[in-house]
Structure 1
Amino acid sequence: MNFLHFFSRNKIDESVKEAREKTGSILLDVRTPEEYRSGHIPGSRNIPLQDLEQADTVLKDKDAPLYLYCQSGARSSMAAALLRSMGFTQVSDMGGISGWHGEIERGGKES
């Protein structure tokens, strides 16, 4: 494990804990449906990056705290910028699930 990986793991671990403690927050996985089914953070919803332009049809409250992740952090960064430009006010980019140290859930479907 390299030095930067250690800090990204702590970031996503702490961010998931924060999200679970904050009322109305949404954990959002922006990977593909296939990636989501292969393993995701329990309680997360899947809206792939390529479908985020329609996110406001699923995510009705633009002031809800959103916590985003992908595989490595690249797509979640792009997704965060897009959601902010769409008027979502509380968007947190947690980075990549590759740094997640907790339980992984398999299966499920996208939102």
Structure 2
Amino acid sequence: MGIFDRFKVLTVNDAINESRTDKNAVLIDIRAKDVYKRGYISGSINIPMTQLELIEKRVPDKEKKIYIVGSYDNEPKKAAKKLKKMGYENAIPGGRMEEHEGPLKKMK
């Protein structure tokens, strides 16, 4: 990782693309469950910001790259910081869903 990678800011669409092209990556959506159900990225894992400790069950490999998308209410940068304190050094903030361009899946 280069010195400038630490300051790189991804858009939500960048995070989606990165997570889909890296076999050692996952996309975590930290929005509340009810918001997630109304529209989410296919293949993303919903772990609300208030329940980030659940990540240890869903993503036990702390070496995995974790791209985090959220919202204006649930800030991906804050989640990345919290996950890094939990030992997930490859937690990368990936933008807000309000800025997403493209199709979303919905739960019924």
- The TM tier, using the shorter chain, reads 0.7 to 0.9
Aligned pair count reads 100
Greater alpha carbon shift after TM alignment, 73-82 vs 51-60: 73-82
1:57 matched residue in structure 2: 57
Q: How does 1:91-106 map to 2 (within 5 A)?
A: 91-106=91-106
Q: Deviation per CA, 1:49-85, whole angstroms, max 9, x where unpaired?
A: 1111232122110010101011237521211110000
SS at match of 2:11: helix
Of all paired residues, the percent bearing the same amino acid is 25
2:44 matched residue in structure 1: 44
Structure 1: 5+ residue runs without aligned partners?
A: 1-7
Q: How does 1:58-97 map to 2 (within 5 A)?
A: 58-72=58-72, 74-97=74-97
What is the rounded CA distance, in whole Å, between the counterparts of 2:20 and 2:90 in structure 1?
15
What is the rounded CA distance, in whole Å, between the counterparts of 1:43 and 1:54 in structure 2?
18
Q: CA RMSD in A?
A: 1.9
Is the aligned partner of 1:20 residue 2:20? yes
What is the rounded CA distance, in whole Å, between the counterparts of 1:13 and 1:75 in structure 2?
16
Q: Determine if contact 1:40/1:106 at 8 Å carries over to the other structure.
A: yes
What is the rounded CA distance, in whole Å, between the counterparts of 1:19 and 1:54 in structure 2?
20
Q: Determine if contact 1:30/1:69 at 8 Å carries over to the other structure.
A: yes
What is the rounded CA distance, in whole Å, between the counterparts of 1:73 and 1:102 in structure 2?
21
Q: Deviation per CA, 1:23-60, whole angstroms, max 9, x where unpaired?
A: 12111000111011010111100000111123212211
